[in-house]
């Protein structure tokens, strides 16, 4: 009788969480996207009207139109109200904000986003935008109702001393 020696190494199994995202904008009674619909407080310079310049209805990887908002002043912020068409049952799992932006330098956290929902700012989340227009996203985790999402506001803030920052479009995606 022959015996074979085998050695085993410890294997660690980590749980993996999956977030299922619906990209539906019609059908099933759900519209999970929202866009800027109005100005609440603005300091960036628009081509025409701040919210209209970033409300192209474009979803990544598409390219928004050339109308934009820009600023050279560190700390300047624009606050936007959102469309009232978001429709879903129950609570959200999170909200992704997508923005087509650039900054003339690649300074860390040079552009920040914040979400005002359920009567509170959720905390600024920074991105490191570079000198080419690109889509970036930030994620806010929370269980919010349809009414809370419809009443939310989005803030974009220039957080660097670089020469210029620019935003050509943005939108939100509710993750269920």
Using DSSP, how many helices (H) and how many strands (E) does the chain show?
2, 12
- Interatomic CA distance for residues 86 and 34, integer angstroms: 6
Tens place of pLDDT per residue across the chain (176 aa): 444 444 433 433 333 222 223 344 433 446 799 999 888 888 998 988 887 888 888 999 999 988 899 999 999 999 999 988 899 999 999 999 999 999 998 888 899 999 999 999 999 999 999 999 999 999 999 999 999 999 999 999 999 887 899 999 999 999 99
Q: What is the CATH number of domain 33-175?
A: 2.60.120.260
Sequence-distant (≥ 6) Cβ neighbours of residue 17 within 8 angstroms: none
Would you list the domain boundaries of the chain?
33-175
The span from the CA of 99 to the CA of 148, in Å, is 21
Cβ contacts of 77 within 8 Å, gap of 6 or more = 41, 43, 44, 155, 156, 157, 158
């Amino acid at each position: 009788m022959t015996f074979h020696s085998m050695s085993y190494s410890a294997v660690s199994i980590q749980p993996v969480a999956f977030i299922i995202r619906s990209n539906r904008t019609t059908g099933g009674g759900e519209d999970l996207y929202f866009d800027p619909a109005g100005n609440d407080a603005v300091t960036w310079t628009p081509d025409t009207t701040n919210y209209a310049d970033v409300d192209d209805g474009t979803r990544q990887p598409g390219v928004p139109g050339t109308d934009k908002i820009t600023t050279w002043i560190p700390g300047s912020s624009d606050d936007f109200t959102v469309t009232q068409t978001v429709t879903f049952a129950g609570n959200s799992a999170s909200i992704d904000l997508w923005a087509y932006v650039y900054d003339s330098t690649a300074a860390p956290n040079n552009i920040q986003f914040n979400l005002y929902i359920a009567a509170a700012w959720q905390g600024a989340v920074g991105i490191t935008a570079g000198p080419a227009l690109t889509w970036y996203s930030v994620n806010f985790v929370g269980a919010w109702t349809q009414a809370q999402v419809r009443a939310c506001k989005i803030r974009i803030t220039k957080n660097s001393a670089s020469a210029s920052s620019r935003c050509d479009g943005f939108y939100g995606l509710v993750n269920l």
